[in-house]
C-alpha cells in the first residue's frame, strides 16, 4: 500500500498471551459452562471434554450441542434420572458430570476405539481416539492426506517429517529439503555486483511513491488490508479469530449468517444478550443475514463474491461444493478471488468427514497424550485450552496473505486449505521426527525439560502459587547457586544433575517455598537465571511489563454490562495503527445496507427477499 517498510517489534510474551490461547479473547463452546467471574480456584477442566477408557485404548467425547446430548442420552438407554431438560444445557451437564460420566464409562468399556468413533459418527456424537505420537506416525489418514514426508534430514539419516501447514491449489507449502550445512552452498551462490538501479535508489516516503499497481499513493495512516473485501462464512473460534485479523487490519469483512443455523459462538451464558467471545471475535465486521439453503440466497452470495477478494469458511469438507459456491464455482465468476477453507482433518483421507472439534484434533495428533503430568497419570491436562484453533487461524491468515501477494504478481487468486490437525502436527514436529528415528523414545515429560535440571514449575509461598525455573546449562547452575547460596560440587555438571534430578531440585524447591512467585522471579532474573511467575488471568491486566507495553485496552459493546479487556495488537508496528474497536454486529445487522450498496437492490426487491426469508435483517 505504501511502498515503504517499517520496524516491527515483537514480544514473545505478548504472542503467547494474545495469540496462543488468549484468556481475554475468543473462547471455546465449553466456556458457556464456566463461571463468569474469574475465580481463584482451578476449573474442573476434566469435565469439559472427558476421556474414557475403552477395550483397546482411550477416547475423548465432546458433548456440546443439545442434539449431541440427546443422542448420547438415547445411547445410554434414556435413563430417567437425566430426562429433565436442564441436562440439555452445558451448565446442567457439567453440574451432573459426576453422575453422567460413570454411565458413559461403563457403556464405552465394551467397545474398541474405532467402534466408538464409528458409532459416534453414526449418532452425531463427536468422539475421537486418543493417539500416541507413535500411532500418529503410522495412522492411515495422515499417510493418505500427505501430512508427512519421508526424507533425509541429514546425510544418511532418513526420517518422517511433517510436510507443512497448508496447501495452496493442492500443493503443500512446507517441507522441500533438509536444512543445509554451514557453507554447503557457498560455491553455488554467485556473489554478483549489486545492480546500479538498487544502488541509486533513494529512500522515499509514502507521500512521494505509489504502489506497483499504479494506484494513487495512500494519504495518511493506512491499514494493511484497507480496500479488501472478505466474505466470512467462518464459525466458532477458528472462524472468529481468522476473520478478526482481517477486520482489525482494515478489510471490509462481511459475516454471512443464517438465522436457522446460528454460529455456535453466539451461544451465551444463561441467556445473556451477547457472549464475550462474539464481542471479542466479531468486532469490526459487518453482518448480512442470508439463507444459503435457497437458490436465490446462493446467487446473492455469488453476486457478492464477484467483487470480493477473499472467502473464508471452516465447514466440513464438501459443504461449499454442495452449495455451489466452492472455489471452482467462484473463480469462474472472479478469477482473482482467494478461497480459504479449514477443517479438522482436511479434505483428503478417511477422517475428512469426521466431526471437527479442537479437543478431538488434539487427541488425534498426539498432543493430548503428551499433555499429562507423567506416563502414569491417566487423565489429560488439555481440557481448558482451545488449541489449535487460534494458531490454525493465524496460519490461515498468513497463507491468505501470501496468496494475496502472489495475486499482485500473477493476477489470479487461489484455493487454500488448512487442516487443524496439520497445524498441531507441525508444532509437534520435533517429537514426531524423534519418534520416527527411535520408536518409543518420546515420553510424557510433564513440566520437566528432559535435558535440563533443575527445570519445572515449583510451589512458592502462598496458596497455589508457582514459579517456573529452567537451568539450561552449567553456567545457569552457577548463577542459580549464587542466588540461592548453594555450594554442592557434586552437582556442578549437567550430567550429574540429570543423574540425580531430585538432589538438584530439592534446594531450589526449598528456597522457592519461602518466597512469593514475584519475589522469586525477580531475584532469579536479576541473577541471570531463567524464571517466570505464574499469572492468573486477572493478574495479566496489572502485570507491570504488559501494562508498560499497553497490552490491553477496554472493548465496549452496547449489549455488555461492562467493558472487556482486549488486545489491539500482537506486535508494535512503526506505521500500522492499533485495531479499531467497532462493536460486533447483531446477526444480519447490516443486511439492508449491504444489499443496497453492494448489490444495487432497491427497497422493493429487498423487502421481497426479506419476506421470502432469503435476506434476514434483525427484527425491527
Catalytic center residues: 389
DSSP-derived pairing of the beta strands 127-129 and 148-154: unpaired
Q: Are 549 and 572 contacting, i.e. CB atoms less than 8 angstroms apart?
A: yes
Q: Cα dist. 119→114, 316, 352 in Å?
A: 9, 18, 16
Q: Are 124 and 71 contacting, i.e. CB atoms less than 8 angstroms apart?
A: yes
DSSP state of 617: P
Which of left, alpha, beta for 4 (phi over 0: left; psi -120 to 50: alpha)? beta
Q: CA angle, 449 as apex, 445 and 453 as ends, to 5°?
A: 125
DSSP-derived pairing of the beta strands 164-168 and 171-174: antiparallel
Chain-centre distance of CA 592, in angstroms?
Answer: 33
For residues 406 and 560, what is the distance between their CA atoms, to the nearest angstrom?
A: 41
Chain-centre distance of CA 242, in angstroms?
Answer: 9
Cross-strand pairs, 254: 231, 286
* Coarse DSSP helix, strand, coil percentages of the chain, rounded to the nearest 5 percent: 40, 15, 45
Cell representation of residue 188: 553455488
Phi and psi at 418, nearest 5°, equal -125, 115
Q: Based on the number of CB atoms within 10 Å of its own CB, is 513 exposed (0-12), middle (13-18) or buried (19 or more)? A: middle
Q: Based on the number of CB atoms within 10 Å of its own CB, is 322 exposed (0-12), middle (13-18) or buried (19 or more)? A: exposed
Phi and psi at 257, nearest 5°, equal -130, 145
Q: Are 447 and 456 contacting, i.e. CB atoms less than 8 angstroms apart?
A: yes
Phi and psi at 14, nearest 5°, equal -70, -35
- What is the full DSSP assignment across 203-266? ---GGG---TT-PPPP-S---TTTT-EEEE---HHHHHHHHHHHHHTT-EEEEEE-TTS--GGG
Cross-strand pairs, 290: 615
For residues 443 and 369, what is the distance between their CA atoms, to the nearest angstrom?
A: 9
Cross-strand pairs, 415: 339
Q: Taking the CA of residue 482 as centre, how many other CA atoms within 13 Å lie in the half-sphere pointing to its CB?
A: 13
Helices (H), 86-155: 90-95, 97-108, 113-123, 133-138, 140-145
Q: Are 76 and 119 contacting, i.e. CB atoms less than 8 angstroms apart?
A: no
Amino acid at each position: 500500500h505504501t511502498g515503504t517498510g517499517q520496524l516491527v517489534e515483537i514480544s514473545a510474551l505478548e504472542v503467547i498471551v494474545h495469540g496462543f490461547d488468549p484468556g481475554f479473547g475468543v473462547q471455546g463452546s465449553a466456556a458457556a459452562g464456566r463461571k463468569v467471574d474469574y475465580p481463584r480456584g482451578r476449573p474442573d477442566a476434566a469435565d469439559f471434554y472427558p476421556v474414557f477408557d475403552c477395550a483397546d485404548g482411550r477416547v475423548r467425547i465432546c458433548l456440546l450441542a443439545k442434539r449431541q446430548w440427546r443422542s448420547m442420552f438415547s445411547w445410554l438407554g434414556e435413563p430417567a434420572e437425566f430426562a429433565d431438560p436442564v441436562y440439555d444445557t452445558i451448565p446442567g451437564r457439567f453440574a451432573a458430570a459426576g453422575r453422567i460420566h460413570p454411565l458413559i464409562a461403563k457403556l464405552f468399556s465394551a467397545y474398541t476405539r474405532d467402534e466408538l468413533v464409528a458409532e459416534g459418527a453414526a449418532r452425531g456424537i463427536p468422539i475421537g481416539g486418543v493417539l500416541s505420537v507413535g500411532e500418529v506416525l503410522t495412522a492411515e489418514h495422515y499417510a493418505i492426506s500427505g501430512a508427512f514426508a519421508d526424507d533425509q534430514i541429514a546425510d544418511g539419516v532418513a526420517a518422517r517429517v511433517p510436510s507443512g501447514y497448508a496447501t495452496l491449489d493442492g500443493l503443500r507449502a512446507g517441507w522441500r529439503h533438509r536444512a543445509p550445512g554451514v557453507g554447503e552452498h557457498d560455491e553455488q551462490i554467485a556473489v554478483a555486483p549489486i545492480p546500479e538501479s538498487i544502488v541509486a535508489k533513494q529512500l522515499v516516503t509514502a507521500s512521494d511513491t505509489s504502489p506497483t499497481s499504479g494506484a494513487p499513493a495512500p494519504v495518511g495512516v493506512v491499514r494493511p488490508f484497507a480496500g479488501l473485501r472478505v466474505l466470512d462464512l467462518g464459525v466458532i473460534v477458528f472462524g472468529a479469530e481468522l476473520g478478526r485479523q482481517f477486520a482489525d487490519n482494515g478489510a471490509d469483512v462481511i459475516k454471512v449468517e443464517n438465522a436457522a443455523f446460528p454460529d455456535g459462538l453466539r451461544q451465551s451464558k444463561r441467556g445473556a444478550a451477547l457472549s464475550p467471545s462474539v464481542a471479542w471475535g466479531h468486532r469490526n465486521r459487518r453482518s448480512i443475514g442470508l439463507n444459503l439453503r435457497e437458490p436465490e440466497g446462493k446467487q446473492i452470495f455469488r453476486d457478492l463474491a464477484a467483487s470480493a477478494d477473499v472467502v473464508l469458511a471452516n465447514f466440513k469438507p464438501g459443504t461449499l461444493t454442495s452449495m455451489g459456491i466452492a472455489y471452482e464455482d467462484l473463480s469462474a465468476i472472479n478469477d482473482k478471488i482467494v478461497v480459504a477453507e479449514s477443517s479438522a482433518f482436511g479434505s483428503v483421507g478417511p477422517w475428512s468427514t469426521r466431526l471437527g472439534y479442537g479437543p478431538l484434533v488434539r487427541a488425534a495428533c498426539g498432543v493430548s497424550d503428551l499433555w499429562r503430568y507423567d506416563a502414569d497419570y491417566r487423565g489429560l491436562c488439555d481440557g481448558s485450552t482451545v488449541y489449535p484453533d487460534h494458531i490454525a487461524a493465524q496460519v490461515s491468515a498468513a497463507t491468505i496473505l501470501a496468496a494475496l501477494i502472489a495475486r499482485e504478481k500473477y493476477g489470479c487468486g487461489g484455493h487454500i486449505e488448512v487442516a487443524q490437525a496439520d497445524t498441531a502436527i507441525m508444532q509437534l514436529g520435533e517429537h514426531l521426527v524423534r519418534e520416527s528415528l527411535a520408536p518409543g523414545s518420546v515420553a510424557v515429560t510433564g513440566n520437566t525439560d528432559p535435558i535440563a535440571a533443575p527445570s519445572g514449575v515449583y510451589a512458592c509461598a502462598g496458596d497455589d502459587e508457582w514459579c517456573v525455573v529452567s537451568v539450561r546449562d552449567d553456567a545457569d547452575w552457577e548463577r542459580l547457586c549464587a542466588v540461592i547460596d548453594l555450594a554442592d560440587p557434586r552437582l556442578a555438571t549437567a550430567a550429574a544433575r540429570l543423574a540425580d534430578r531430585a538432589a538438584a531440585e530439592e534446594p531450589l524447591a526449598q528456597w522457592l517455598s519461602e518466597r512469593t512467585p514475584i519475589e522469586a522471579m525477580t531475584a532469579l532474573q536479576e541473577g541471570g537465571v531463567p524464571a517466570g511467575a505464574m499469572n492468573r488471568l486477572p493478574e495479566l491486566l496489572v502485570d507491570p511489563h504488559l501494562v508498560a507495553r499497553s497490552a490491553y485496552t477496554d472493548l465496549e459493546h452496547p449489549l455488555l454490562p461492562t467493558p472487556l479487556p482486549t488486545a489491539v495488537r500482537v506486535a508494535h508496528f512503526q506505521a500500522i495503527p492499533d485495531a479499531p474497536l467497532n462493536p460486533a454486529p447483531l446477526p444480519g445487522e447490516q443486511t439492508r445496507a449491504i444489499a443496497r450498496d453492494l448489490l444495487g437492490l432497491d427497497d422493493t426487491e429487498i423487502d421481497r427477499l426479506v419476506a421470502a426469508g432469503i435476506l434476514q435483517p434483525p427484527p425491527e
